[in-house]
Amino acid sequence: MGPGRAGRAVAWAYIAALLLFLYVPLAPPLLFSLGGGGEAGTRAGAVTLRWYRQLWDNPLLVGGVQNSLLVGALVGLITPPLALLAAMAVRELRRPRLIVATVLLPLFIPGVSMGLASAFFFRQLGVTPSLLTITTVHVVWALPFAFLIILAVMATFDPMYLEAAYLHGAGRLRAFVDVELPLIRHGILGAAIFSVILSFNETVRTALVQGPNNTVQTYIWSTFLQVGLSPTLYALMSLLIAVTLGLVAVLLLVGARGAVSARGG
Amino acid sequence: MGALQGRVACVARYALLVLPLTFVAGALLVPLGLMFVWSFWERAGFWIRPAFTLASYAEFFAGVRLSVLERSLVVAAGVTLLGLLLAYPIAYFLALRVRRDLARNVLLLFTIPFLVNYIIRTFSWVYLLSRTGPVNRALMAAGVTQRAVDWLLFSDFAVFVGLISSYMPFMIYPLWAALDGLDRRLVEASWLLGASPRVTFLRVTLPLSMPGVFAAVIFGFVGTFGESAVPIILGGVGYQLMGNTITSALDVLNYPLAAAMSSVVVATMLAFLLVWYLAFDLRAVLGKIARWRF
């Protein structure tokens, strides 16, 4: 049974076509950011890096970059421990179904609604919009993804190791730190990188709780709404695509390392 | 001494374990609940004041915004259905016809573009679909059309392209997880009992993958129903879906109306989630991620 060679070829061609459909949009920003001017990105011989240089002359944007880095770092530090605790709660508390559903809930709330509810909430509490409000919303958004990554890695860990540690007199904390943590470390690191990627690439939720603070993404969005797209903006987008793909590469390296150490251990 | 210490440790451990749940409750559930409450308040200058009025809902359901809701439902249903039709064959092929490590690598390829902000990717479609863009040039070069096609951009078509490229990849995973977890012996049994491949698919494989299908529907629907950026970028002037109608209500400081529309969106999603939670087993969608008893 099963499709013949022709059937498989058709299936792979179909997958390749859909991948092309998803990857093609990554190219135009680079094309336009290197162009001599306007939208003439296709004109030959006009390759220039001046739009990239101009980026750094814009204090508003440089501030946005700093904010994005700071928020990204905070999200990368806060989200994985929370996700780890949630994953452990699934294993150790009663009603794991309810816990999974609660932690995954942010995945299912549209961005506008999540941003709006948070913005109103902060305003009613008298909390001024700041990098911390942005960070809070980003952590809520990144938590389900980090949770799923850590859950997947923890599923490869055999709880018998913990039993063994208990039998040797280790307490819960000691057993976790000495036995389980080293084996799931790469999952936690992966969750951190994934959270940073999500934070770097968030616009809709951020735009509603940003107050006067821009991130790189809200800078792009508000500039688009006010004056439209420009070669400088395309240069910025190209940089962001490059940074994101770079982080994905790091994520894959961490994942590959983890797989090797899990097999070796 | 030991007993007290033990109890303190036990309480501390419990507090730590429920911390993430408290966080989601405090930073998401409570704000969403309050948003619903505030949708019954009234406008007061630059903010809102306590009241109990249905004015915002009346404004929503009586005005042109009702057609926005209808259009959003139609677009979200259309994108979800198309996404399902595009994603299911991929998930099926990867789960049942390809070695698992290869399947994982292909799934990874689908993840990578998803990680780049979809707004940046959507800007690219403006160029790709424009009158002088590559798609039109290719169509003209192939002799499909003499003049550039206008309806590619700032149209329903463009919005569909943008939404599908933003949210379809998300739909592949639950489908793959459900199909990957399927008991192959059932398919073999159907084959041994003389069912044709078509009948086997319709009566065995498809019904067993329904938890994944429903999860994929939720993922597709949640993305498109509340989407605010894609219609602004690709829909053209005046193209309204729920998402950007909510943000434009915010722009004119009509906060109760924004809260009311947003509550309708969230209520729709929660209804979907409730059906999913009650009707299907979460494990079927999480696949082998969690081996623990649920």
What pLDDT is recorded for position B105?
A: 92
- Decide if B33 is inside a domain: no
- Domain of B226 in residue numbering reads as 60-290
pLDDT digits (tens, 9 = 90+) for A123-162: 999 999 999 999 999 999 999 999 999 988 888 888 888 8
Average pLDDT rounded to a whole number, residues A193-206: 93
What pLDDT is recorded for position A220?
A: 94
Q: Which of A19-23, B210-214, B272-276, B281-285 has the lowest mean pLDDT?
A: B281-285
- Decide if B128 is inside a domain: yes
CATH for B247: 1.10.3720.10
What pLDDT is recorded for position A175?
A: 87
Whole-number average pLDDT of chain A: 88
What pLDDT is recorded for position A36?
A: 60
What pLDDT is recorded for position A225?
A: 92
Q: Which of A61-70, A117-126, B83-92, B169-178 has the lowest mean pLDDT?
A: B169-178
A45 Cβ partners below 8 Å, 6+ apart?
Answer: none
pLDDT digits (tens, 9 = 90+) for B20-39: 999 999 999 999 999 999 99
CA distance A76 to chain B (A): 15
What pLDDT is recorded for position B293?
A: 43
How does residue A1 score in pLDDT terms, banded at 50, 70 and 90? very low
Return d(Cα B281, Cα B215) in angstroms, integer. 11
What pLDDT is recorded for position B1?
A: 52
- Decide if B16 is inside a domain: no
DSSP state of B48: E
Side chain identity at A208, as an amino acid letter? L
- Decide if B46 is inside a domain: no
Average pLDDT rounded to a whole number, residues B141-167: 90
Whole-number average pLDDT of chain B: 88
Which residues of A are less than 8 Å from B79 in CB distance? none
Neighbour-count burial for B84-104, b at 16+ CB within 10 Å, e otherwise: bebbbebbbbbbbebeeeebe
Side chain identity at A172, as an amino acid letter? R
pLDDT digits (tens, 9 = 90+) for B108-153: 999 899 899 999 999 999 999 998 889 988 999 888 888 888 888 9
Neighbour-count burial for A77-111, b at 16+ CB within 10 Å, e otherwise: ebbbbbbbbbbbbbbeeeebeebbebbbbbbbbbb
Average pLDDT rounded to a whole number, residues B63-79: 91
Percent of chain B exceeding pLDDT 90 equals: 48
CA distance B146 to chain A (A): 22
Residue B177 and residue B287 in contact, taking contact as beta carbons nearer than 8 Å: yes
Average pLDDT rounded to a whole number, residues A11-32: 94
Alpha-carbon dihedral sign for residues A215, A216, A219, A220: negative
Average pLDDT rounded to a whole number, residues B222-239: 89
Q: Could A112 and B243 be called an inter-chain contact, meaning their C-beta atoms sit closer than 8 Å? A: yes
What pLDDT is recorded for position B294?
A: 41
Closest C-alpha to B16, from A164, A172, A135, A167: A172
Closest C-alpha to B156, from B99, B71, B220: B71
How does residue A68 score in pLDDT terms, banded at 50, 70 and 90? very high
Give first-to-last CA distance, chain A, whole Å: 39
Helix A131-154 crosses helix A59-92 at what angle (to 10 degrees)? 40
Q: Which of A43-52, A135-144, B57-66, B67-76 has the lowest mean pLDDT?
A: A43-52
Q: How many helices (H) and strands (E) does chain A have?
A: 13, 0
Q: Is some CB atom of chain B closer than 8 A to the CB atom of A123?
A: yes
- Decide if B8 is inside a domain: no
CA distance A57 to chain B (A): 22
Is the pLDDT reported for residue A115 higher than 90?
A: yes
What pLDDT is recorded for position A213?
A: 92
- Decide if B45 is inside a domain: no
Q: SS3 breakdown of chain A: % helix, strand, coil, rounded to 5?
A: 80, 0, 20
Q: Is B205 helix (H, G, I), strand (E, B) or coil?
A: helix
Q: Could B165 and A91 be called an inter-chain contact, meaning their C-beta atoms sit closer than 8 Å? A: no
- Decide if B131 is inside a domain: yes
Residues 49-68 of A with CB under 8 A from B: none
Which residues of B are less than 8 Å from A15 in CB distance? 90, 93, 106
- Decide if B22 is inside a domain: no
CA distance B113 to chain A (A): 6
Top pLDDT among A18 and A263 is at A18
Return d(Cα B1, Cα A134) in angstroms, integer. 45
pLDDT digits (tens, 9 = 90+) for A219-263: 999 999 999 988 889 999 999 999 999 999 998 898 877 765 554
Q: For residue A114, what are the CA distances in angstroms to A141, B27, B167?
A: 9, 10, 18
Q: Give how many domains chain B has, as a whole number.
A: 1
Is the pLDDT reported for residue A83 higher than 60?
A: yes
What pLDDT is recorded for position B287?
A: 55
Side chain identity at A160, as an amino acid letter? M
Is the pLDDT reported for residue B270 higher than 80?
A: yes
What pLDDT is recorded for position A257?
A: 75
What pLDDT is recorded for position B284?
A: 60
* A·B CB contacts under 8 A: 234
